[in-house]
Amino acid sequence: MFNFKIVAESKTTRARAGILQTAHGEVETPIFMPVGTLGTVKSLSPEELKICGAQIILGNTYHLYLRPGCDVIQCFDGLHGFMHWDGPILTDSGGFQVFSLARLRKVTDEGVLFQSHIDGSSHMLTPETSIEIQACLGSDMVMCFDQCIKYPACRRDTRDALDLTTRWAKRSKDAFESDKNALFGIVQGGMYKDLREISAHDLMKIGFDGYAIGGLSVGEPKDLMLEMADFTLPILPDEKPKYIMGVGTPEDIVAMTALGADMFDCVMPTRNARNGQIFTATGTINICNARFKNDIEPIDPECTCYTCRHYSKAYLRHLYLSKELLAYRLNTIHNVHYYMDLARRLRKAVCDGRFEEFRGKFSKSYIV
Amino acid sequence: MFNFKIVAESKTTRARAGILQTAHGEVETPIFMPVGTLGTVKSLSPEELKICGAQIILGNTYHLYLRPGCDVIQCFDGLHGFMHWDGPILTDSGGFQVFSLARLRKVTDEGVLFQSHIDGSSHMLTPETSIEIQACLGSDMVMCFDQCIKYPACRRDTRDALDLTTRWAKRSKDAFESDKNALFGIVQGGMYKDLREISAHDLMKIGFDGYAIGGLSVGEPKDLMLEMADFTLPILPDEKPKYIMGVGTPEDIVAMTALGADMFDCVMPTRNARNGQIFTATGTINICNARFKNDIEPIDPECTCYTCRHYSKAYLRHLYLSKELLAYRLNTIHNVHYYMDLARRLRKAVCDGRFEEFRGKFSKSYIV
């Protein structure tokens, strides 16, 4: 059932446009996936997400396993029914969160013993349980359980995490039973090119429906992040979707697309919206800024999102300063629309054979 | 421009159905007005409000005067343009809030000197400035500046507040210049029937487009509230709209409609939604309740609101326990829809000549 098809390629870069076919519909790549950690993309309804252009969203296995728990989501035959989203869902494996959020972790070959960040209760996450939870969630794109290493990390620790990730990837694949959903391997290897290469080849040997690059955007300099992606992406098989996890800013997404990445996710459009940071064609603005006090213009007069069609910067600033719930939602609508529109324009540029031109214009107008 | 027409009356109670005509469209009475304190009915978009059945909303003069201030709202020719709501708006006078929220009040015949609850800055609100602010807001229904007295209050204080309210009502009318919007007088007089009568006659002598009853639902026993409304409502001219300010629960609204009230406002549906309290045909429920953990049913299978059409109690409980922004919105949609539907059904019962029957059924099924 799951399938990936490339429909256009840039001649001068590695950028490509494709179609992901899933049990819940098609996704046009390059694609950005809004993050719906707890079964909701914060502040938005599923209908709003679609109007913003969202085609696929991400759910977090660690969070959903702890709350509401699989017993609840099972009653709805999965996350789609539970949260009223009928499009594709990608779930992470819980690996990243268990290392970044949970307390008192004990990592063994078997898996990770950890304490919930909510109530301190003890849990064990293994490749098998991660796959089982993701199956319960009804995920269209399932991630292998992996060990994401912090930055900076020494070569030995990075190698150990990579090897564990490979063994877990094998077990994840063995545990994965779906014939309609996809299983992605996650390349680790930190900031060591040769280790990235080993990891990629390890995973390709096992064989997956798609490949993700994990362990980027974890605090390393931007140049290093791009260097690692630039090195790793071409190793991965071109006929499979390539997913850069947790990335990133608009300029990151443009750069990574040029390097051959197809899929992205990041909390940036949603989280920053709730902090008053808004993405525009010329860079970000902070809606609290006093210069917007009497500004009757929308964020971007050319933007077609609901927020820009109906509300001024003065109103958005007022809502935000007043801590009104509608502030978070209107800001989020705009930011998600901005990201989805960026992905759409990237794709169109590839299809129209003018990706380089688009990238040039983008980097001239978008001030970082 | 402003006009009120009665279209049906109950034969056995004082309930009536009418139409308020305003510069921003018609309102069918009895009507409940959701409270949009700061230029937003908390968590909802104007489109959602309309889908919930809202016909008119309330804005708070005190809040909007302090934040964002008239200089901002003026840039939009009023609150309608600022907040993207094209239906009628009623504004209170600021009187109630200045007594309940502001600090260091000094009441003189001239007006009230107070300090902002936001930043402590000093401001003076008078009948003239209140009317001026409400004109700047572009309010369709303007309230006279009044002194709302706390409960309990002695006869002398109540009388003083009443007399001041009368003098302020006269000045409010003198300051009111619109030929298309309505000005409402506010009956005070605390829990003293003879003082209520004096206040009502004072106001009727001045002459207003509508009459509100203030100073109820301020902590007095429910029986006393209903007794005062029962006594005061018939004194007011039947050809004018009668508005009970700050009321109330569903059962209050049913009872007050029977007594001849046409208009209601209360933060209850919106505030309680944000506290997890949901209104249903059989009474209120708290969505946090553990019995909803696996409950795949909507709040009310017969309810046609967006929330009930798409979401289960289990999902709403999960969102609420996770403090997700969507929780407040979905709960608010349901509660506002509930209140608007109650008003619609009250009106229909009057029009169909079966108000008594409706009231009987309501009080049997709705458990307080």
CA–CA dist A246, A266 (Å, integer): 5
Burial B56-83 (b: 16+ CB within 10 A, else e): bbbbbbbbbbbbbebebbebbebbbbbb
B3-266: which CATH topology?
TIM Barrel (3.20.20)
Question: Which chain B residues are closer than 8 Å to A326 by Cβ?
Answer: 40, 42-45
What pLDDT score does B100 carry?
86
Spatial distance between the Cα atoms of B209 and B141, rounded to a whole number of angstroms: 9
Contact between chains at B42 and A318 (C-beta distance less than 8 A): no
**Token pair listed for B101:** 């929220």
- Chain B stretch 305-344, residues whose beta carbon is closer than 8 A to a beta carbon of chain A: 306, 310-312, 314-315, 317-319, 321-322, 324-326, 328-329
Q: What is the reported pLDDT for B101?
A: 87
Q: How far is CA B283 from CA B363, B367, B368, in A?
A: 10, 5, 6
For chain A, the structural domain boundaries read 3-272+334-365
Q: What is the pLDDT of residue B6?
A: 98
Taking alpha carbons only, the member of A5, A29, A30, A14 closest to residue A231 is A14
Nearest CA in chain B to A79: B315
- From the list B67, B83, B318, which residue is nearest A68 (CB)? B318
Distance of residue B72 Cα from the nearest chain A Cα, in angstroms: 5
CB contact under 8 A, B75 and A319: no
Residue at B40: amino acid letter: T
> Catalytic pick from A92, A140, A209, A300?
A92
In tens digits, chain A (368 residues) has pLDDT values of: 899 999 999 999 999 999 999 999 999 999 999 999 999 999 999 999 999 999 999 999 999 999 999 999 999 999 999 999 999 999 999 999 988 888 878 999 999 999 999 999 999 999 999 999 999 999 999 999 999 999 999 999 999 999 999 999 999 999 999 999 999 999 999 999 999 999 999 999 999 999 999 999 999 999 999 999 999 999 999 999 999 999 999 999 999 999 999 999 999 999 999 999 999 999 999 999 999 999 999 999 999 999 999 999 999 999 999 999 999 999 999 999 999 999 999 999 999 999 999 999 999 999 98
Contact A311 B84 (CB under 8 A): yes
Question: How far is Cα of residue A235 from the mean position of the Cα atoms in its chain?
Answer: 21
Rg of chain A on CA atoms, in Å: 20
Q: Is B217 helix (H, G, I), strand (E, B) or coil?
A: coil
Two structure tokens written together for B220: 């007095």
Tell me the residues of chain B between 28 and 57 that have a Cβ less than 8 Å away from chain A: 38-40, 42-45
Under DSSP, the state recorded for A149 is: P
All residues at 6 or more sequence positions from B146 whose CB lies less than 8 Å from its CB, including other chains: B93, B95, B96, B165, B168, B169, B186, B188, B214
Q: Which residue out of B202, B262, B265, B300 is catalytically annotated? A: B265
* Cα A36 from chain centre: 10
**B296: nearest CB among A44, A76, A317:** A76
- The alpha-carbon gap from B135 to the nearest alpha carbon of chain A, in Å, equals 19
Among the partner-chain residues A45, A82, A322, the one whose CB lies closest to the CB of B67 is A322
Check: complex ipTM more than 0.90: yes
Minimal CA–CA distance to A145: which of A219, A61, A207? A61
Q: Are B195 and B215 in contact (CB under 8 A)?
A: no
Each residue's pLDDT tens digit, B235-287: 999 999 999 999 999 999 999 999 999 999 999 999 999 999 999 999 999 99
**A295-309 burial: b if 16+ Cβ within 10 Å, else e:** beebbbeebebbbbe
Please give the single-letter amino acid code of residue B60. Answer: N
The beta strand positions in B197-329, using DSSP E, are 210-213, 242-244, 263-265, 277-280, 283-286
Edge-to-edge, what's the strand order for the sheet holding A16-22? Answer: A3-9, A16-22, A25-29
Mean pLDDT of chain B, nearest integer: 97
Cα–Cα–Cα angle for B205, B206, B212, rounded to 5 degrees: 95
Size of interface A-B (CB pairs under 8 A): 102
Is B356 a residue whose pLDDT tops 90? yes
pLDDT tens digits for range B178-215: 999 999 999 999 999 999 999 999 999 999 999 999 99
Task: Write the residue in B39, B42, B294 that is nearest to A75 by C-beta.
Answer: B294
> Residue B241: what pLDDT?
99
Q: Cβ contact (<8 Å) for A325 and B326?
A: no
- The alpha carbon of B115 is separated from its chain's Cα centroid by a whole number of angstroms, namely 25
Q: Is A105 helix (H, G, I), strand (E, B) or coil?
A: strand
Residue in B67, B318, B319 closest to A318 by CB = B67
B3-9 β-sheet, strand order: B3-9, B16-22, B25-29
What Å distances lie between residue A32 and A263, A269, B222, B233, CA to CA?
A: 6, 10, 55, 59
pLDDT digits 0-9 by tens, B38-60: 999 999 999 999 999 999 999 99
Indicate yes or no: CB of B67 within 8 angstroms of CB of A311: no
Q: Quick check: A118 contacting B, CB < 8 Å?
A: no
Average pLDDT of the residues in B58-78: 98
Q: Is B70 on the interface with A (CB under 8 A)?
A: no
Tell me whether residue A265 is one of the annotated catalytic residues: yes
CA–CA distance, B208 with B170 (Å, rounded to integer): 10
C-alpha to C-alpha distance for B275 and B51, rounded to whole angstroms: 22
Give catalytic status of residue B265 as yes or no: yes
Per CATH, domain A3-272+334-365 is 3.20.20.105: yes
What was the pLDDT predicted at B45?
A: 98
User: Between β-strands A25-29 and A283-286, what pairing exists: parallel, antiparallel or unpaired?
Assistant: unpaired
User: Which is catalytic among the residues A140, A265, A300, A341?
Assistant: A265
Nearest to B227 by CA among B251, B204, B201, B196: B196
**Sequence-distant (≥ 6) Cβ neighbours of residue B294 within 8 angstroms:** A71, A72, A75, B314
pLDDT in tens, B88-106: 999 999 999 988 888 878 9
In angstroms, the separation between the Cα of residue A208 and the nearest Cα of chain B is 33
Helix, strand or coil for residue B120?
coil
